[in-house]
A and B are shown apart, each in its own frame.
Chain A
Amino acid sequence: MSPNPRHISLLIGLGAVALLLLVRIFSIQILDGRYKSDADRQATVRETIYPTRGVIFDRNGEILVGNKVAYDILVSPRDVQPFDTLALATVLNVTPDFIRGKLLEFERRKSSIGFQSVVMMRTVPAETYMRFDEVKYRFPGFRGQVRGIRDYPVNAGGNLLGYVSEVNKAYIDRHEGEYEQGDYAGMTGIEAAREKELRGEKGYHIYLRNVRNQIEQPYKDGAEDKEAVPGKDVTTTIDAALQQYGQELMNNKVGSIVAIEPSTGEILALVSSPGIDVSQLADIGRHYREIASNPYKPMYNRAVQASYPPGSVFKLVNGLIGLQEGVLRPEMMYPCNKGYHFGAGHKLGCHVHRSPLNMEESIMMSCNAYYCYVLKNILDNKKYASVAEGLDAWNDYVQSFGFGRKLQSDFPAELSGSIPTSRTYNRYYGKGRWNSTTVISLSIGQGEILATPMHLANLCATIANRGYYYIPHIIKESEEIPLDARFKQRQYTKVDTVHFPKLIKGMWRAVNSGPGMGGTAAIAHIDSLDVCGKTGTAQNPRGADNSVFICFAPMDNPRIAIAAYVENGGFGASYAAPIASLMVEKYLKGDVKRKGLEKKMKEDNLMSRVKTK
């Protein structure tokens, strides 16, 4: 019996339809990848696990910046279903309008948000979150996420530590691939400088969720999950107690204190006043406007970012260069008749003191005229063809102390200050149209010299070390964070180390000669401590002189070198010297005996002297 042809054609039809279905199935299962990503997207939720940020310690292991728990309230706009706005608002302690406004905003950003979650409220306190957690099943699309926020046990080093805040679009773009919306990053200070170590690595849990957006189970039993890697702890070289003490002393004054351990270059304290209180750091978002609009610019780290004329402190550098160049010998005496007279009636003034003086005494009494002679001898030295050449040689010496350039410390924002060269004056006056008297104010650290307080502290450490310094740094070497090799190398100046002890005697005498002997820094004297110091009174075109002081102690094997710079503080001995001296006493003695002086420094208010415009 031959098969029925209709049977055959129907079989062919059956085969064709089956093939059609299989081709279609093949195309959506194998050829088209879209459905796989759709499935993953709608059936999985990725919950980011934020790592705990590294803790910042002081040099003695005390916590400067720790962490505490808060919660963010997240919302996935696509999953939100109609809900009782008032109930949610009550639970979260906000107004219904706030929630409506947020959701409206997310609606506008719908296309960019997609299936992601966005933060509706930041750092909600734990007890508010607990209330929300109990009822969150009623609000599909909303969830909470643990978020560590910064905690500051001691009020030390506000803007030195810096603040942490959520990254914005510009920040994300600048650090491509490293951050996404909702991440936090250190924006200033140590938080910013050591961001890479502190932030750690984010992890995530992937969960499967059902159509009602309930979490069902970990995706692939957590095989694809990634644990967060906590941030590394950072140990700073800061001494919390000293730092805090410095901040108190600088209260209601504008200026800086930089204290360095000369034998290592470690920064013991770095005060910039006015600074940011740590309570403001914790909630920078709310205080940012207030801080930014403060005319005294508390965000500005004066210790490394403010360039000032160093004033008489700089005589030490000129003295050392003179000794090295052989144009100055310690026993050389120069006269001073209330200043240095040059040309027709021009004079660089000085205060009343004995005359003539040798080098030691010139430092002790801070004679201006003496250093006019010294500088003139350096610049007009016959071995140089011209003053210009002499000045450039002088510039080389000065730069070797770290002046006029960045010290390469671990502050990314540090400024270089400036030290003039022959080109500077050629530009001002024309080539060959200036001489050593034109630039005579360089002798006393005025004129075209600008240096940061850190430069001055570094100078002090260099002298304390008798000729070399370690680059100042604020991060202490730890197991997790090795110290860059540059911080471990001695940096020698171009002045031979043999010349340094000759000045130190003068610095000692400035502090320890006793009352009535003409020492400019008698107020810095501390019983049983050989403090060596040099005052400075820098002219400030905007009002009263700046008070400057550097000192180190003890004289032998110094443990602290410090620079204090108080804007509009008057004579070096008025504010900078007592403040630096109190810091030394605090650090080396642990306890300050000179309570009266301490009280006066803490309470005196110089803010009215400071011009902000």
Chain B
Amino acid sequence: MVQGSFTRTERRLRQSIDWALVATYLVLILIGWINIYASIHSSAPPSILSWSTRSGKQFVWILTSLGLAGIILQLLPPRIWEAVSVPFYIFVLGLLVLVIFVSSDVKGSHSWFDLGPVRFQPAEISKISTSLVLALIMSQPQFRISRLKDFLKAVAVIALPMLVIVAESETGSALVYLGFIFVLYREGLSGWWLGLIALVVGLFIATLTLGPYWAIMLLAAALLISNARVEKRPGKLLGWGSAALLALSLIPWLWGLLTKAVQARMDYLNSRIWVPQAGESLDYFWSFICGINPVVFIIAAAAVAIPLLLWKAYMKKKGFLAISIGAFVAGVLLVFSTQFIFEKVLKDHQRSRIEILLGMKEDPSGVGYNVNQSKIAIGSGGFSGKGFLHGTQTTFGFVPEQSTDFIFCTVGEEWGFLGCLVVIALYVFLIARLMADAERCRGKFTRIYGYCAASCIFMHLFINVGMTVGLMPVIGIPLPLLSYGGSSLWSFTIMIFIFLALYREEKKYF
């Protein structure tokens, strides 16, 4: 009888593990392992298990990861994570700071501990500790994200490791922390924040690629749509607003025509021999006009519209309109300072990466080499790929960092579009499953932690794959579970299996 009830518990325990998630995890690390082997393949292929190759080493990392997973699931009590989160966070933060001083320089960044045969990057672990602490504080019953104090608390937990990592010159890894905004959003942060961040990034890119005029137009359009959304009867606002925007968008075109006409007239004047006469001063007037930057017209329009709108906001008690006007002014300042930021604040390598990404500069042999080679490798894969071990670009070293940051190139080249589709589908399933499981949890801690894990994997996926296909700048972060490397594999394993342990704990009580 006792025996029977024990086995039932045991069975329930086993059933309560989300095996679909585990299976997805296993399939991804297997895909990673095979592709790491393919990346280092040469004419004389060694065994996939050979210790001298990265695939052999990765095999060891996989085994130890599975060991870690077993420990987390079977040996450690799930409650421990809540308890250790703060000291763990502080410890990892200490490591992050320490590594700046003791690490060797790896391509300009100071983020690796050199431990003899292996290297270890604390920034990987830091995602877990940050997730745990974020889950801890946000799961407190009295925590309200809409309260400024609580919001700042959450932001501080995220920003602290992020800033240290920026100080390590690992800007790429730091970007991942921006993904925690999705967690805050899920827990009640206003959607306007997401919009605001998107707008800032959008303005930055628009300023650099399209110039300040169109960046400001974009800003005005975004604010117009925002106001229309909060307005009960947006018809009038939309009508006037879009008419004004349309009129303003015609100005650069008119200016182009005018400039052409004036230029022709000036050429004609210059071609004559005699001295300009009195009536020709009109020509100089027009050439002066077309020398004016069209931005001036936007400023002028704004100078007229802003006081009017402010008065309207005051009279009709429209807070959002007032905020929008503030946002517009701030946005314009951002646009004008962007050029300054771009040229003075960013470092050379960061600037050039952005320039390549935005298509402002073509440089296939210099900074653009990585991206170009990566695109060639993936692009040459075609629909079904060149077949396992038959990729020429990844096999023969044309793609740099091919087993780590550019592992997706091997997938793209050897397995083609089908392979890419499968891998991305697996990731989407993994992330969506994490989110769905998190949603099912009653405990806020587990739910928030689940969203943290999902966000981290999502950010890695987006940035890494985006980088290999030229949608994102070259930011050296690994593709979770696929890229070669112990630190990365261990930390994502721990991250996922902590959630699985917490999730099973949840289910125990049902």
Residues in chain B near residue A385, CB distance under 8 A: none
How big is chain A's contact interface, by range? 35 or more
CB pair A39 B377 closer than 8 Å: yes
**CB proximity to B under 8 Å, residues A108-139:** none
**CB proximity to A under 8 Å, residues B464-480:** 465-466, 469-471
B139 → chain A closest CB, angstroms: 16
Of B73-81, B285-293, B417-425, B492-500, the stretch lying at the interface with chain A is B417-425
Tell me whether A94 is interfacial, beta carbon within 8 Å: no
Tell me whether A34 is interfacial, beta carbon within 8 Å: yes
Tell me whether B392 is interfacial, beta carbon within 8 Å: yes
- Report Cα–Cα, A15/B458, bound state, in Å: 11
Query: In the complex, how many residues of chain B place their beta carbon closer than 8 angstroms to a beta carbon of chain A?
Result: 43
B428 → chain A closest CB, angstroms: 5
Residues in chain A near residue B375, CB distance under 8 A: 28, 35
Tell me whether B378 is interfacial, beta carbon within 8 Å: yes
Tell me whether A327 is interfacial, beta carbon within 8 Å: no
CB pair B397 A211 closer than 8 Å: yes
- Report Cα–Cα, A44/B428, bound state, in Å: 36
Of A19-27, A53-61, A569-577, the stretch lying at the interface with chain B is A19-27
CB pair A29 B432 closer than 8 Å: no
Q: Mark B385-422, 1 if CB is under 8 A from A, else 0.
A: 00000001101111000000000000011001100110
- Report Cα–Cα, A599/B280, bound state, in Å: 99
CB pair B471 A14 closer than 8 Å: no
CB pair B458 A17 closer than 8 Å: yes
Please give me the residue from chain A that is nearest to B385 by CB atom. Answer: A29
Of A4-12, A390-398, A485-493, A535-543, the stretch lying at the interface with chain B is A4-12
Residues in chain B near residue A28, CB distance under 8 A: 375, 378-379, 469-470
- Report Cα–Cα, A20/B471, bound state, in Å: 9
Residues in chain B near residue A40, CB distance under 8 A: 380
CB pair A10 B185 closer than 8 Å: yes
- Report Cα–Cα, A40/B381, bound state, in Å: 11
CB pair A43 B378 closer than 8 Å: no
CB pair A21 B469 closer than 8 Å: yes
- Report Cα–Cα, A209/B392, bound state, in Å: 8
- Report Cα–Cα, A28/B43, bound state, in Å: 28
Tell me whether A32 is interfacial, beta carbon within 8 Å: yes
CB pair B376 A39 closer than 8 Å: yes
CB pair A29 B381 closer than 8 Å: yes
CB pair B397 A35 closer than 8 Å: no
- Report Cα–Cα, A32/B376, bound state, in Å: 10
CB pair A43 B382 closer than 8 Å: no
Tell me whether B354 is interfacial, beta carbon within 8 Å: no
**CB proximity to A under 8 Å, residues B331-371:** none
Tell me whether A517 is interfacial, beta carbon within 8 Å: no
Given A25-B378, A26-B417, 20 more A-B residue pairs with CB atoms under 8 Å apart are A6-B186, A11-B432, A13-B182, A20-B471, A21-B424, A21-B462, A21-B465, A25-B465, A29-B379, A29-B417, A35-B375, A35-B380, A38-B376, A39-B376, A39-B392, A42-B398, A43-B392, A43-B396, A210-B42, A216-B42
| 10 A-B pairs with C-beta separation under 8 A | A9-B191, A11-B432, A14-B428, A18-B427, A21-B471, A29-B378, A29-B417, A36-B380, A39-B380, A210-B398
Q: Which 3 A-B pairs have the closest CB atoms?
A: A35-B379, A39-B380, A210-B396
The chain B residues found within 8 Å of chain A, CB to CB, are 42-43, 182, 185-186, 188, 191, 375-383, 392-393, 395-398, 412-413, 416-417, 420-421, 424-425, 427-428, 431-432, 435, 439, 458, 462, 465-466, 469-471
